[in-house]
Amino acid sequence: VIGVVIGKTDVRSFPDRKNIGSERYVFNFTLRDSPTYFINVQSWGREDYIRSLSESFRVGDCVTIENPLIQSKEAEREEKFNPVTPSSYKLLLSENHSVVKTSSCYETDTRLLSLLHLPVKDPQDYYSLGDIVANGQSLNGRILNVLAAVLSV
């Protein structure tokens, strides 16, 4: 699978249920290869492997993933912590079987760069900040998708 990384989480750790007293590490990213399709990728493993993998690329990089495991996603659980994707699957990376290679989008496919700036939600499913200000009372308690630009950080 070749695509551009459009989102990425920080590395997190959880107690390992099988080896009491040790930790398992995870991080997720979202990969896009067309205007319509993008998929979440998850990797679990030892701390040094997960940290090294996470630091090997950033949002906007093109990556090639070899030998991922394809798994059905548990929509309700998965989408609490990851972007909602049009696929009913996710990719799992294994330290022993999967390989992630980073390359320049210019070397791979310059069309992938344009995918970075496309929204992942339906364009009709957004509220502007103006709409929220004007209709704040009627929107109280609802979960909204907001489309806005960051002016500065």
pLDDT tens sequence across 74-120: 866 666 667 788 888 999 998 889 999 987 666 666 777 778 777 77
Least confident of 32-36, 68-72, 122-126: 122-126
pTM: 0.78
Using the predicted structure, report yes or no on whether residue 29 has a pLDDT greater than 90: yes
Q: Is residue 134 part of a domain?
A: no
Q: Once rounded to an integer, what is the mean pLDDT over residues 140-152?
A: 79
Q: Is residue 144 part of a domain?
A: no
Write out the residue range of the structural domain in which residue 85 sits: 2-115
H-only helix segments in the chain: 47-55, 75-81, 105-108, 111-114, 129-134, 136-139
Using the predicted structure, report yes or no on whether residue 41 has a pLDDT greater than 90: yes
Q: Is residue 35 part of a domain?
A: yes
The answer to whether 128 touches 149, Cβ cutoff 8 Å, is: no
On the CB side of 147, CA atoms within 13 Å amount to: 12
- Total of domains in the chain: 1
Structure-block tokens of residue 19 = 């080896």
Amino acid at residue number 99:
V
Q: Is residue 61 part of a domain?
A: yes
Task: Name 54's Cβ contacts closer than 8 Å, sequence gap at least 6.
Answer: 8, 10, 11, 27
Structure-block tokens of residue 42 = 């998850």
With tokens 């990556």, the residue in question is 63
Q: Is residue 29 part of a domain?
A: yes
Domain containing residue 92: CATH number: 2.40.50.140
Q: Is residue 71 part of a domain?
A: yes
pLDDT given at position 106: 64
Q: Is residue 64 part of a domain?
A: yes
Average model confidence (pLDDT) across the chain:
85
pLDDT given at position 136: 78
DSSP 22-36: -EEEEEEEEEESSSS
